[in-house]
């Protein structure tokens, strides 16, 4: 079965640079979530989209922005990168809003030097 | 917002032992999921279990929604079971999963 695809899998950037993370949900899934997991931490919710509209926002810095496109893939744009942005970034997808199971991608490991 | 607490924070087992991991949540939930994060960082879906009991091989889970807790049972543990186990509950708005701090399981041979 098709899974959530994230690219790139690994990314190394320098401070103050920008990064773009991409997420391709499971076919026919219309809801996408982004989570950030720092070293030794639990995943923290950043932002979610349903039918290409932002549905909720968590602890996402103003330097980050995201959107969901017409084909339902999503991109997380991160600017003015800081050392503290080094983390594992997960994308998850599901169908519809509410209590449906979320399926997670393999994550993008971002290292900021 | 909803609070999710997991216990114990750490668990060390010998291969073949059984274990029970607990997840308490502060409010009623429409979605409760268990994940295993392997040493490579991947989050593996174990169970989607807002209520009731499910089994998958050596793993099983039970959620008692009225009492706001869920249990994950691991029987005959293997070294490959090592890693972090997360419980996550959907927030009231239905827009985000809230994770517990996790239980780190180490199984030695």
* Alpha carbon separation from A62 to A47, A58, A59, B72 (Å, rounded): 12, 11, 9, 37
A40: contact with B, CB 8 A cutoff: no
Token pair listed for B87: 């419980």
pLDDT tens digits for range A52-87: 999 999 989 999 999 999 999 999 999 999 999 999
Mean pLDDT score of chain B? 95
Chain B CB contacts of A96 below 8 Å: none
Which pLDDT score is estimated for B68? Answer: 95
Which pLDDT score is estimated for B37? Answer: 97
Answer yes or no: is pLDDT of B7 > 90: yes
Which pLDDT score is estimated for B87? Answer: 98
Which pLDDT score is estimated for B28? Answer: 86
* A97-100: Cβ within 8 A, 24+ apart: A97/A31, A97/A50, A97/A55, A97/B94, A97/B95, A98/B30, A98/B31, A98/B90, A98/B94, A99/B29, A99/B30, A99/B31, A99/B50, A99/B90, A99/B94, A100/A31, A100/B31
Which pLDDT score is estimated for B9? Answer: 98
Percentage of the residues of chain A whose pLDDT score is greater than 70: 99
CA distance A40 to chain B (A): 9
CA distance B64 to chain A (A): 16
CA distance B79 to chain A (A): 21
DSSP letter assigned to residue A6: E
A89: contact with B, CB 8 A cutoff: no
DSSP letter assigned to residue A45: E
């Amino acid at each position: 079965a098709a899974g959530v695809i994230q690219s790139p899998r690994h990314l190394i950037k320098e401070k103050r640079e920008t990064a773009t993370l991409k997420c391709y949900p499971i076919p026919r899934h219309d809801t996408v979530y982004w989570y950030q997991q720092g070293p030794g931490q639990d995943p923290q919710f950043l932002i979610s989209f349903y039918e290409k509209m932002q549905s909720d926002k968590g602890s996402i810095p103003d330097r980050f922005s995201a959107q969901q496109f017409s084909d339902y893939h999503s991109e997380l744009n991160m600017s003015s990168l800081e050392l503290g942005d080094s983390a594992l970034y997960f994308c998850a997808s599901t169908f519809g809003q509410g209590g449906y199971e979320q399926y997670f991608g393999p994550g993008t490991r971002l290292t900021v030097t | 917002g909803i609070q999710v607490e997991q216990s114990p924070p750490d668990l060390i087992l010998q291969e073949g032992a059984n274990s029970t991991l607990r997840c308490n949540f502060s409010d009623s939930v429409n979605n409760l999921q268990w994940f295993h994060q392997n040493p490579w960082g991947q989050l593996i879906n174990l169970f989607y279990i807002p209520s009731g009991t499910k089994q998958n091989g050596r793993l099983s889970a039970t959620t008692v929604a009225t009492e706001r807790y869920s249990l994950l049972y691991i029987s005959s543990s293997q070294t490959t079971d090592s890693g972090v186990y997360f419980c996550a509950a959907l927030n009231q708005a239905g827009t985000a999963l809230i994770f517990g701090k996790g239980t780190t399981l180490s199984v030695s041979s």
